[in-house]
C-alpha cells in the first residue's frame, strides 16, 4: 500500500536533522517527545491491526502497549501523558527497530493476500493518524527547541511562518441554507460525517488572514492590558501566565523577532500571524470591531478562500454533528469523547502533511493553546 510506505517514510525523514538528545525532552504536558510520537504511531498499527488480524503475530515488546498508548481506555492501562518524557528506555535505536519490525509485519499482512476491507480501512486510518502526529511532531519539537537558550536550528530552510497572503479584500457571503459535512468516497474522520443543512446569515469575510503587522498594532494599542477586549477566561489566562505577545515572539530594543524551526528570525510584518490562542484571536477580533467566523460559515465560503497556511480559529465549540454516533470499540475514542471545552479550527497549516487537508476537516484544541500553527480570519 503506497500510502502506508510514504507516510511511514516521511516520519523518519522529519527526524533526520535531529540529534539523539532531541528525541527525549517533554517540557510541557501538552508536548510529547519525538521518540514517543515515533513509537505511538507504530503502536497504533500493532494494536489495532497486527494483533487482531495477523495470525501468529508476536508483539515486539509487551511493555510498549502500556508505554505508547495515548488515551485509548479500551486498550488497557497506559502511562500518564505528563510522564512521557520519563521514558529514557527503550532508547531511540530500539524505537526505530520497533518501527521497522511493525512495518515489515504490515507489509507481510498486505502481501499475504485476502486482506479484508476492514483491515485496509484500519491501515488508512493509521496513516491519517500518523499524518496528524507528523504535524504534532513538528509543533512539539519547535516548542522544545524554543526553550533551549541556544535557540537551535532544526532546518535552516524550514521556517513555516513566512507565508504571505495571496488574496485581499472581502468575500460577500449571501444568506441562505447550505449543506456542510463530508460527502464522497474518500477518507474522512467520523467527526466530519453527518452532512446537514445550516442557515448562514449575510456577511463579509476577509480573504486575507491577519498579519504580524496588524497584530503588532493590537499589542501597541495595549491589547494585552485591556480587560474589555477579552473573554473572562481569556483575561484570567493572560494575567495568570503574564502573556504579552504571541508564542515565540520577543522584542529587544524595539526590534521584534520570532523563533522558527529555522532559528531566530526578524519578525516579518507582512507574514501571516501564527501561534495564536483562541483567547488572543477573540480579543483581536473584538479590538478590530470584527468577529471570528463560525465553522459552518468557513466551510461554505472555503471554495473562494485561499486557505492552508494556518489553522483558522472559529467561534464554534467542538460539538457533534447531527446523527453522530461513537463507533464501537477503542477506535470510537478517537474523536467523540473530546467534544467538550474545545474550539474548532478549520483549514490546515504549513506544517500539515501533504494530502491531509480538506474543507470539511475539523481540528480542535483547548482555547488557551498557542503552539499550533494557528492564525486569524475575520468577518463582518
Q: Is residue 165 part of a domain?
A: no
Residue 145, H or E segment: helix 117-146
Distance CA 237, CA 322 (A): 33
Report if residue 362 sits inside a domain: yes
% residues pLDDT > 90 (the chain): 93
C-beta of residue 43 within 8 angstroms of C-beta of residue 61: no
For the cut 90, the answer to whether the pLDDT of residue 203 exceeds it is yes
- Answer yes or no: do 344 and 220 share one domain: yes
* Average pLDDT for the chain: 97
Residue 226: CB atoms within 10 A of its CB come to 14
Residues 66 and 110 in one domain: yes
- Average pLDDT (122-145) is 98
The pLDDT tens digits for 222-250 are: 999 999 999 999 999 999 999 999 999 99
- Looking up residue 219, the CATH number of its domain turns out to be 3.90.1580.10
Same domain? 129 vs 242? no
The CA–CA distances, whole Å, from 254 to 223, 243, 271, 274, 284 equal 17, 18, 19, 20, 22
- For residues 94 and 225, state if they share a domain: no
Ranges 19-28, 29-38, 103-112, 326-335: which has the least confidence? 326-335
137 and 178 part of one domain: no
Q: What is the pLDDT of residue 333?
A: 82
Please check whether residues 296 and 340 belong to one and the same domain. Answer: yes
pLDDT in tens, 103-123: 999 999 998 877 899 999 999
Is 90 within the bounds of a domain? yes
As given in the structure block, the three cell numbers for residue 145 are 527547541
Determine the structural domain holding residue 112 and report its residue range: 2-146
The verdict on 330 and 207 lying in the same domain is yes
Q: How far is CA 65 from CA 41, 61, 68, 72, 299, in A?
A: 12, 8, 6, 11, 38
Residue 328 has pLDDT above 90, yes or no: no
Are 274 and 195 within one domain? yes
Residue 113 backbone zone (phi > 0: left; psi -120 to 50: alpha; other: beta)? left
Identify whether 131 is preceded by a cis peptide bond (ω within 30 of 0). Answer: no
Amino acid at each position: 500500500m503506497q500510502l502506508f510506505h510514504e507516510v511511514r517514510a516521511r516520519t523518519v525523514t522529519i527526524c533526520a536533522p535531529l540529534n539523539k538528545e532531541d528525541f527525549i525532552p517533554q517540557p510541557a504536558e501538552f508536548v510529547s517527545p519525538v521518540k514517543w510520537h515515533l513509537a505511538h504511531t507504530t503502536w497504533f498499527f500493532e494494536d489495532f491491526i497486527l494483533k487482531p488480524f495477523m495470525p501468529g503475530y508476536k508483539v515486539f515488546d509487551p511493555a510498549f502497549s502500556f508505554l505508547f498508548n495515548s488515551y485509548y481506555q479500551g486498550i488497557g492501562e497506559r502511562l500518564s501523558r505528563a510522564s512521557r518524557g520519563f521514558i529514557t528506555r527503550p532508547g531511540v535505536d530500539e524505537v526505530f527497530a520497533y518501527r521497522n519490525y511493525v512495518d515489515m509485519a504490515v507489509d507481510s499482512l498486505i502481501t499475504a493476500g485476502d486482506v479484508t476491507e476492514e483491515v485496509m480501512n484500519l491501515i488508512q486510518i493509521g496513516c491519517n493518524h500518523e499524518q496528524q502526529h507528523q504535524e504534532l511532531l513538528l509543533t512539539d519539537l519547535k516548542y522544545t527547541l524554543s526553550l533551549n537558550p541556544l535557540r537551535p536550528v532544526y532546518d535552516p530552510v524550514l521556517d513555516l511562518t513566512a507565508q504571505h497572503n495571496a488574496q485581499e479584500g472581502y468575500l460577500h457571503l449571501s444568506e441562505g441554507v447550505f449543506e456542510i459535512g463530508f460527502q464522497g468516497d474518500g477518507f474522512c474522520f467520523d467527526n466530519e460525517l453527518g452532512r446537514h443543512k445550516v442557515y448562514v446569515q449575510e456577511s463579509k469575510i476577509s480573504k486575507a488572514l491577519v498579519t504580524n503587522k496588524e497584530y503588532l498594532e493590537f499589542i501597541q494599542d495595549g491589547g494585552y492590558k485591556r480587560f474589555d477586549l477579552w473573554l473572562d477566561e481569556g483575561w484570567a489566562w493572560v494575567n495568570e501566565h503574564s502573556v504579552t505577545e504571541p508564542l515565540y515572539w520577543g522584542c529587544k530594543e524595539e526590534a521584534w523577532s520570532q523563533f522558527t524551526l529555522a532559528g531566530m528570525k526578524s519578525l516579518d510584518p507582512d507574514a501571516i500571524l501564527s501561534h495564536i490562542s483562541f483567547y488572543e484571536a477573540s480579543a483581536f477580533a473584538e479590538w478590530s470591531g470584527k468577529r471570528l467566523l463560525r465553522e459552518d460559515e468557513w466551510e461554505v465560503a472555503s471554495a473562494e478562500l485561499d486557505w492552508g497556511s494556518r489553522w483558522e480559529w472559529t467561534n464554534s465549540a467542538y460539538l457533534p454533528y447531527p446523527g453522530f454516533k461513537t463507533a464501537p470499540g477503542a477506535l470510537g475514542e478517537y474523536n467523540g469523547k473530546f467534544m467538550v471545552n474545545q474550539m474548532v479550527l478549520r483549514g490546515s497549516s504549513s506544517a500539515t502533511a501533504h494530502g491531509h487537508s480538506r474543507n470539511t476537516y475539523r481540528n480542535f484544541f483547548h482555547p488557551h493553546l498557542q503552539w499550533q500553527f494557528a492564525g486569524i480570519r475575520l468577518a463582518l
